[in-house]
């Protein structure tokens, strides 16, 4: 410090001396001693050198300042965040280039502009709230708002503000509190957060849909639950789930929902799939999604599309419900997807359904397909369990009845007197034949799990079973004429019909085909409401058999049309007149008569000789809700 002060004093003295010299007259210089002049010149030269060195130092300092200014400009103007200086009244006083670029305008146009003009209307309250907190607490504030560019495009910004005192600016009052703000563009982050939120919400709702539909047990309830929950993901106006039968090319609506309530549920009739349009059905059968962006723009809309257009729907999308199966192709396991339903959504806005909607719909359809299959399997399992329980009771009941029937047969045979040992053997064969007939029916019922048996097939099998167990050597031709629409006899009456056919066939074996090389049995079955065929129609008046309470000639015609008719004929010599008149005892025919009268509903029997024995049996179908006596397959 001492050296510096001395140097300063010396320079001041030198300057003072130079000024004194200049004030003197030129003549005074002549009067100066040469030594003083030399000293003065030396001091001036030294000072000149010092000035030159000071000038170089100033230039170096100026260059350093310029470099510092450039660094400041690079740091301030080209920073990755926007910088703003804001007055207490909310005016922008300073802004860097990054801020101007974010706002899509020139920096000069930002100066003296209210910052509120650049903030979206929805976030004005948020901005004023944080600005007030900053002024009151003087503590930094951080918040996120939507800013508006010059082209009116919005973007999300993260604002960090703090308070400082401006002591340098001349445009404002010195000491005025200013707000320093940094601004970062967080639009991408916000978009990612929104995408994550939507994905999370969608997954949550899809999980709720999966949980809800898997918790339901009926297909209708499963469909209703899925569509109601789907409304939260896709705001449709109309939705439907259609069950389809690929084999029959038919479909029916399982449920139809509208956004304001349910339109129709279950019990809809089956309709041809062609009503939905060939292009839609072809796409669904390939397991692909079908979409129509504007129904009104279609040149030839299908019946379904016309119905949608009539209900003011303009766009729809249909997704197949696929059943996954595994099959064999060239000795290899092949997975196949068979469409068993269609999930459809419709909107009154053209081109409403976008790619994300289709993606959601396809995922829901995959879960819904599994749930519907499980619901169907559960229903089928419950029906099977109920049926097996019913069949178990039926089997127990049938076994008891069969044992009772066997005891009755044995009792009838016991009452018939025996003349010799051969007669006893014949009686045992008859009993064995009847029991074998019952066994045959049981085998047929067991093979169908005690489902109703087709009447024509039952008659044919009983005739062949009786013939194969007989000792005759005749070649017997058997012909059974049954209706085109098969008739079915319930399990609890199948044994009665089998016993009747067995007795009639056994009777033909004994009396019609004895000592003959060939024979013929012809049975004609006529459904209720049909007219008997001419081949077996009686050509003359029927002979009422002993024990009948009503002869055919006295039967009411209307009642006859409501009955099943079964006519049995052989080509033998027929029955003796005494047997027809009831004067001669015949165990088999007595058993047939009792079975028709007591086991068949309103059963009637007539016997006559007409080119052989002709037995005509009529009875009414027994309508039973659990196990109907006669069913006609539709």
Residue ranges covered by each domain of the chain: 2-76, 81-185, 226-382, 422-632
Rounded CA Rg of the chain? 55
Mean pLDDT of the chain: 77
Residue 205 — very low, low, confident or very high, per pLDDT cuts 50/70/90?
A: confident
**230: phi > 0 → left, psi -120 to 50 → alpha, else beta; which?**
alpha
* Per-residue pLDDT at 534: 38
Assess whether pLDDT exceeds 60 at residue 328.
no
| Cα torsion angle, 281, 283, 289, 294, sign | negative
- Alpha-carbon span 442 to 391, nearest angstrom: 13
Q: Please, what is the Cα angle at 310 between 309 and 313, to 5 degrees? A: 40
- Alpha-carbon span 253 to 246, nearest angstrom: 15
Q: In what order do the strands lie in the sheet with 82-86?
A: 92-95, 82-86, 176-185, 154-166, 141-148
Assess whether pLDDT exceeds 70 at residue 400.
no
Residue with the two structure tokens 């009926």:
218
Name the 3-class secondary structure at 180.
Answer: strand
Q: CA-CA distances (angstroms) from residue 585 to 177, 408, 417?
A: 132, 17, 11
The CATH code that applies to domain 81-185 is 3.30.450.20
* Per-residue pLDDT at 289: 92
- Alpha-carbon span 442 to 429, nearest angstrom: 20
- Alpha-carbon span 127 to 100, nearest angstrom: 19
- Alpha-carbon span 345 to 291, nearest angstrom: 10
Pairing, β 475-481 against β 518-526? parallel
Q: At what angle do helices 587-599 and 491-511 cross, to 10 degrees?
A: 160
Least confident of 34-38, 454-458, 523-527: 34-38
Q: CA-CA distances (angstroms) from residue 249 to 272, 318, 369, 546?
A: 6, 17, 19, 56
Q: In 10 A of CB 458, how many CB atoms?
A: 23
Query: In what helix (H) or strand (E) does residue 322 lie, and over which residues does it extend?
Result: strand 315-329
Assess whether pLDDT exceeds 60 at residue 541.
no
Residue 546 — very low, low, confident or very high, per pLDDT cuts 50/70/90?
A: very low
- Answer yes or no: same fold for 226-382 and 422-632: no
DSSP letter, residue 119:
B
pLDDT digit string (tens) for 277-289?
Answer: 888 888 988 889 9
Decide if 453 contacts 494 (C-beta within 8 A).
Answer: yes
pLDDT digit string (tens) for 592-617?
Answer: 888 888 888 888 999 899 989 999 99
Name the 3-class secondary structure at 299.
Answer: coil
Task: Name, of 309-318, 402-411, 506-515, the range with top average pLDDT.
Answer: 309-318
- Alpha-carbon span 98 to 533, nearest angstrom: 102
CATH 1.20.1090.10 is the classification of domain 226-382: no
Assess whether pLDDT exceeds 90 at residue 189.
yes
pLDDT digit string (tens) for 364-394?
Answer: 888 778 777 777 777 778 777 777 776 676 5
The CATH code that applies to domain 422-632 is 3.30.565.10
Rounded mean pLDDT, 486-498: 79
The CA dihedral of 86, 90, 95, 100, to the nearest 10 degrees, is 160
* Per-residue pLDDT at 402: 58
Assess whether pLDDT exceeds 70 at residue 630.
no
Residue 587 — very low, low, confident or very high, per pLDDT cuts 50/70/90?
A: low
pTM above 0.75, yes or no: no
* Per-residue pLDDT at 548: 38
* Per-residue pLDDT at 93: 92
Assess whether pLDDT exceeds 70 at residue 78.
yes
How is residue 10 written in tokens? Answer: 């010396």
Least confident of 69-73, 82-86, 110-114, 486-490: 69-73
Pairing, β 475-481 against β 453-454? unpaired
Residue 555 — very low, low, confident or very high, per pLDDT cuts 50/70/90?
A: very low
């Amino acid at each position: 410090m001492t050296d510096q002060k001395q140097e300063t004093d010396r320079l001041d003295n030198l300057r003072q001396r130079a000024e004194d010299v200049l004030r003197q007259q030129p003549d005074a210089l002549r009067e100066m001693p040469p030594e003083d002049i030399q000293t003065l010149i030396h001091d001036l030269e030294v000072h000149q050198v010092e000035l030159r060195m000071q000038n170089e130092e100033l230039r170096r300092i100026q260059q350093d300042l310029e470099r510092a200014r450039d660094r400041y400009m690079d740091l301030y103007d080209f920073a990755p965040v926007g910088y703003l200086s804001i007055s207490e009244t909310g005016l922008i006083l300073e802004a860097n280039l990054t801020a101007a670029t974010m706002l899509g305008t020139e920096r000069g146009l930002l100066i003296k502009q209210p910052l509120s003009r650049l903030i979206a209307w929805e976030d004005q309250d948020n901005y004023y709230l944080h600005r007030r907190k900053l002024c009151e607490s003087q503590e930094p504030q951080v918040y996120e708002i939507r800013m508006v560019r010059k082209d009116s495009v919005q973007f999300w910004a993260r604002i960090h503000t703090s308070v400082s005192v401006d002591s340098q600016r001349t445009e404002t009052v010195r000491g005025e509190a200013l707000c320093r703000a940094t601004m970062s563009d967080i639009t991408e982050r916000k978009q990612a957060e929104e995408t994550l939120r939507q994905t999370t919400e969608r997954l949550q709702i899809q999980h709720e849909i999966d949980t809800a539909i898997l918790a339901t047990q009926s297909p209708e309830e499963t469909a209703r639950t899925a569509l109601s929950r789907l409304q939260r993901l896709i705001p449709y106006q109309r939705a439907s789930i259609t069950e389809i039968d690929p084999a029959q090319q038919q479909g029916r609506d399982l449920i139809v929902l509208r956004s304001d309530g349910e339109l129709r549920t279950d019990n809809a009739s089956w309709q041809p799939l062609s009503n939905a349009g060939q292009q839609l059905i072809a796409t669904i059968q390939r397991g692909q999604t079908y979409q129509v962006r504007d129904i009104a723009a279609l040149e030839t809309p299908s019946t379904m599309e016309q119905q949608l257009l009539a209900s003011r729907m303009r766009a729809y999308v249909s997704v197949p419900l696929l059943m996954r199966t595994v099959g064999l192709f060239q000795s290899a396991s092949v997975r196949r997807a068979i469409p068993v339903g269609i999930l459809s959504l419709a909107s009154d806005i053209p081109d409403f359904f976008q790619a994300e909607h289709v993606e959601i719909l396809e995922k829901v359809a995959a879960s819904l397909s599994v749930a519907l299959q499980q619901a169907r399997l559960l229903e089928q399992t419950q029906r099977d369990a109920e049926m097996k329980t019913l069949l178990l009771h039926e089997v127990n009941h049938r076994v008891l009845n069969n044992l009772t029937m066997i005891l009755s047969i044995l009792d009838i045979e016991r009452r018939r007197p025996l003349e010799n040992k051969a007669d006893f053997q014949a009686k045992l064969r008859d009993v064995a034949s009847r029991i074998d007939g019952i066994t045959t029916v049981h085998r047929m019922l067991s093979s169908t799990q005690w489902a109703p048996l087709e009447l024509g097939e039952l008659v044919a099998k009983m005739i062949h079973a009786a013939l194969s167990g007989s000792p005759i050597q005749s070649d017997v031709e058997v012909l059974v004429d049954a209706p085109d629409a098969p008739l079915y006899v319930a399990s609890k009456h199948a044994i009665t019909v089998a016993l009747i056919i067995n007795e009639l066939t056994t009777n033909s074996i004994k009396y019609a085909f004895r000592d003959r090389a060939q024979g013929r049995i012809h049975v004609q079955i006529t459904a209720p409401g049909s007219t008997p065929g001419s081949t077996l129609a009686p050509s003359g008046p029927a002979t009422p058999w002993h024990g009948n309470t009503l002869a055919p000639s006295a039967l009411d015609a209307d009642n006859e049309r409501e009955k099943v008719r079964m006519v049995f004929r052989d080509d033998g010599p027929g029955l003796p007149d005494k047997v027809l008149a009831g004067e001669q005892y015949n165990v088999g025919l007595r058993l047939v008569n009792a079975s028709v009268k007591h086991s068949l509903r309103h059963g009637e029997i007539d016997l006559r000789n007409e080119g052989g024995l002709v037995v005509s049996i009529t009875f009414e179908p027994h309508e039973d809700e659990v196990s109907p006596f006669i069913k006609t397959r539709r």
